[in-house]
A = this chain, B = another copy of it.
Amino acid sequence: MILEVADLRIAPGQQAEFEAAMRRGLETVIARARGMKGWKVNRGVESAERYLLMVFWDTLDDHTVHFRGSPLFAEWRAIVGPFFAEPPRVEHFELVAKSS
């Protein structure tokens, strides 16, 4: 399992519209992606325009090769891209340990 973390900054005052767009994009586009196991959207407390989108994938390739190389990527970016105040910073992570 791979965790994608997308660190997003949006324009001020657009939280409600962005959150609705994110939910729509996740439920109608990301939900159809191969190997997509689940997602969470987190809004910043200190930085009200900052969001962390976390998406769980079976493998790294499911995101970086299959999703980004599919028509779904353009569909997704058409929905959420207009809100981005700067290019998303995206990296992937592997779970090392968690509390029981």
Contact = CB atoms under 8 A, between A and B. Distances in A.
Query: How many identical chains are in the complex?
Result: 2
Which size bracket describes the interface of A in this complex?
A: 20 to 34
A50 B91 CA distance: 10
Q: Tell me the dominant secondary structure on chain A's binding face.
A: strand
Interface string A40-72: 111111110011100000001000000000000
A93 B43 contact: yes
Nearest to A23: B97
A69 to B, nearest CB: 18
A46 B7 CA distance: 15
5 contacts: A23-B97, A39-B99, A41-B96, A42-B93, A42-B96
